[in-house]
Amino acid sequence: MSTAAPTRTGAARRRGPQDRQRSRARTRSDLRWFWVFCGPFVLGLVVFVYVPVLWSVYLSFFDARNTVTPTTFVGLDNYAYLLTNRAFLVSMGTFVVFAVLIVPTTFALSLGLALLVWRARFAAAFFRSAFFLPTACSYVVAALVWRLSIFNGARFGLVNAGLRAVGLDPVAWLSGEHYLYWVVLVSLRLWLQAGFYMVLFLAGLQRIPTDTYEAAALDGATGWRTVRWITLPQLRATSVAVLLLLAIGAFQAFDEFYNTLVSVGSYPPYARPPLVYLYLVSLGQGTQDLGVGSAGTVILTIVVALLGALQLRILRPRKDEA
């Protein structure tokens, strides 16, 4: 609100009581408008995010089986149970293993694809589309294709047919032996995600000013050296963003694990990431332990919030400048 209000004559004049009145009215009206614009969103956040989280904190202190209005207060028992429960701890370990497997591979593949596509002279658009297309596919459909057709453990799966063609025995990919299911799950997510992150890298590559390259070329830098010493360092911000997005994405894994491994009424004890474990405990597999499920939600929320806070801390300063 400027202190010098230009009038029609163009000359400034002093602020008077009328201006203060007008500015109070404007502030009141602003307040109203603020809530008109932001109201629905805030209401939705409160009702569907904040209240449930608080309710789950409440529920986590009760023994709530098959009911959402429990009466038996158990204090920290649910938390103690979870933190000493092998299945829960194994699920956190599963997340770590999964993240270690998927994050570097996706990063490398998507960066590699971006570098290849970016400098391609022919059909770059076609290649870009081909790699980006899997993003349109849902995790459910991809899991079905991987489970029933490509990595089907019976002799007629695509990979097994290939193995048999070269004289090897078919492999039961999803049976839990030798951790082979990781091949299935990692390749699945890799296929689905690589294109998405490739696009992020392409955007980052495009942001690099061309004179950087011209200057480097003048100095004699070419090909791989350009990539190593010019391109990659300029992609640092994008890289960090990609790594964190990948990690948080790995934490939220549910759809592909569930659809690849579930069978009638049961889910194997291996390959249970945290969300699958949470789902099985609170709503599936014959038990409906909402107290433990709520405690698990609280713990997982804290973990993912830490990851998210890390992401924001590293990336936020840029956004505030905008």
Q: How far is the CB of 305 from other proteins (least distance, A)?
A: 5
Q: At what angle do helices 86-118 and 274-282 cross, to 10 degrees?
A: 140
Whole-angstrom distance, CA of residue 261 vs CA of residue 270: 9
Which stretch in 6-14, 17-25, 95-103, 169-177 sits in contact with other proteins by CB under 8 A?
Answer: 169-177
Contacts made by residues 154-163, CB under 8 angstroms, sequence distance 24+: none
Q: How far is the CB of 221 from other proteins (least distance, A)?
A: 9
R_g (Cα) of the chain, nearest Å: 27
Q: How far is the CB of 105 from other proteins (least distance, A)?
A: 14
Find the binding residues for other proteins in span 27-46 (CB under 8 A).
30-31, 33-38, 40-42, 44-45
Residue 79 or 270: the one with the smaller Cβ distance to other proteins is 270
Whole-angstrom distance, CA of residue 100 vs CA of residue 156: 31
Find the binding residues for other proteins in span 118-157 (CB under 8 A).
118-123, 126-127, 129-142, 144-150, 152-156
- The angle subtended at Cα 136 by Cα 135 and Cα 138, nearest 5°, is 90
Find the binding residues for other proteins in span 202-221 (CB under 8 A).
203-204, 210, 213-214, 217
By CB under 8 A, the count of residues binding other proteins is 138
Q: How far is the CB of 100 from other proteins (least distance, A)?
A: 19
The residue from 10, 17, 286, 317 that contacts other proteins (CB under 8 A) is 286
Amino acid occupying residue 11:
A
Question: Which residues make beta-bridge pairs with 192?
Answer: none
Does 92 bind other proteins (CB under 8 A)? Our answer is no
Does 68 bind other proteins (CB under 8 A)? Our answer is yes
Amino acid occupying residue 211:
D
Cβ-contact 64, 288 below 8 angstroms: no
Find the binding residues for other proteins in span 235-264 (CB under 8 A).
237-238, 241-242, 245, 248, 251-252, 254-255, 258-259, 262-264
Helix (H, G, I), strand (E, B) or coil at 281: helix
